[in-house]
Structure 1
Amino acid sequence: MRKFLIALAALVAVALPSGVPVAAQAGGDNAALAINTRDGKTVYRIAIKVSRNDTGVVTNTNIAFAYASCADCQTYAIAFQAVLVTSNPTIDAPTNMAIAWNDQCDSCTTFADANQVTVTTDGPVHFTPLGNQTLASIRHDLHALKHEDLTLDELAATVNQLADQFTWVVTTQLVPAGNS
């Protein structure tokens, strides 16, 4: 457990940029944290978020962290984040990371995947009806993975397909606010 706490502290230290005022760091981050310490248990955490940033500091963080210290257990963390930037930032340093960590596991499956898409626009934007519908479908499909019996390779392939769809929506389905 001590190693876990040290790793978690290191994760927080890496994820929060130094030299940036706390007010600038507030909000806009996304995290899927799955921690499993019970034998035979499955823990699934999904986080999907669209963050809007109109400040001069883009330090949005997207983290998928899966930690397992158990026997015959499964631990999954998947985080998708879109960062919509409507300013000309002086600091542009978003962070995207995925960590899957087995700690003294016996027959464990641990998976983490993080996908972050950052788009700069000329002003406030919103998604088209098709974009909103596709985002809802992606969210549904990510949560439905909890009930699928997939191998790690199949899970990774499915998550990659959903990440491609997410990127497509964020990069092609935005329109200026007031338009549809």
Structure 2
Amino acid sequence: MRQLGTAKAVGVRNQAGAVSVGCSVDAHCRSVALSFQIVTLAGQNTHLNAVNLSNATNEHCDGCQTLAGAYQFVVSTARPFTLDATAQRKLADIHRRLDDLTRSKIPAADLKTQADSLAAEVTAVLHDAVADAPKAPDAPAVAVHRHLDGWPGH
């Protein structure tokens, strides 16, 4: 989480990379990388360069599951605000469950569904957190960028 406060120009990068290399049909590999980034910023006419990437690569890895998911949440308000203790507690719980999901053995398709569900929870927490904050006139209070890449195996 990056809480930037008042800003005129900001550059942020979120990236998830997963690689499975050299496994065989008899000895499958699994590589999962999930990254959630929350950026809060405030101000009028703020320029944001937000990069959100994921890359999943299978190299000579028949039957492998490789998944990379990058989720970026940008919260923009007219004046600075800080996420309160309740919002931070909820986000910490989601973070714990995201870590558990990364280590799970569930199929890649189910993993994507659960990661999207956790992203929806983050979005709800952030919407609640900024419900009373002054918003920029031409920008959504919370914007979500999602990029998934991967192979579910054969």
TM-score interval (norm. to shorter)? 0.7 to 0.9
Match of 1:164 among 97, 101, 120: 120
Larger RCO (CA within 8 A; separation ≥ 6): 2
* Corresponding residue for residue 59 of structure 1: 11
TM-score (norm 1): 0.63
Distance, in Å, in 1 between the alignment partners of 2:57 and 2:3 is 27
* Contact in 2 for aligned 1:82/1:170 (Cα 8 Å): no
Alpha-carbon shift at residue 145 of structure 1 (Å): 1.7
Percent of pairs with identical residues: 26
Alignment of 1:1-180 (within 5 A): 49-52=1-4, 54-71=6-23, 72-174=28-130
User: What's the TM-score, normalizing by structure 2?
Assistant: 0.73
Corresponding letter in the other structure for 2:19: Y
- Unpaired stretches in structure 1, ≥5 consecutive residues: 1-48
- Letter of the 2:12 counterpart: N
* Structure 1 residue 107 displacement after superposition: 2.4
Q: Which whole-Å deviations, capped at 9, do the CAs of 1:58-116 have from their partners, x for residues lacking one?
A: 22111111122131211111111111112235532211121111122132110011111
Higher strand share: 2
Aligned 8 A contact 1:58 1:89 in 2: no
Counterpart CA distance in 2 for 1:62 and 1:84 is: 14
**Is the Cα contact below 8 Å between 1:130 and 1:173 reproduced in 2?**
no
Return the offset for 1:170.
1.9
Q: Deviations over 1:17-38 (max 9, x none)?
A: xxxxxxxxxxxxxxxxxxxxxx
**Structure ranking higher in helix proportion:** 1
Residues in 2 aligned to 1:90 and 1:172: alpha-carbon distance in whole angstroms: 22
SS of equivalent residue, structure 1 residue 60: strand
5+ residue gaps, structure 2, are 134-154
Matched with 2:136 is none
| 2:140 alignment counterpart | none
Whole-Å Cα distance in 2 between the matches of residues 108 and 171 of structure 1? 37
Tell me, in whole angstroms, the C-alpha distance in 1 between the residues paired with 2:37 and 2:85: 19
Root-mean-square deviation (Å): 2.0
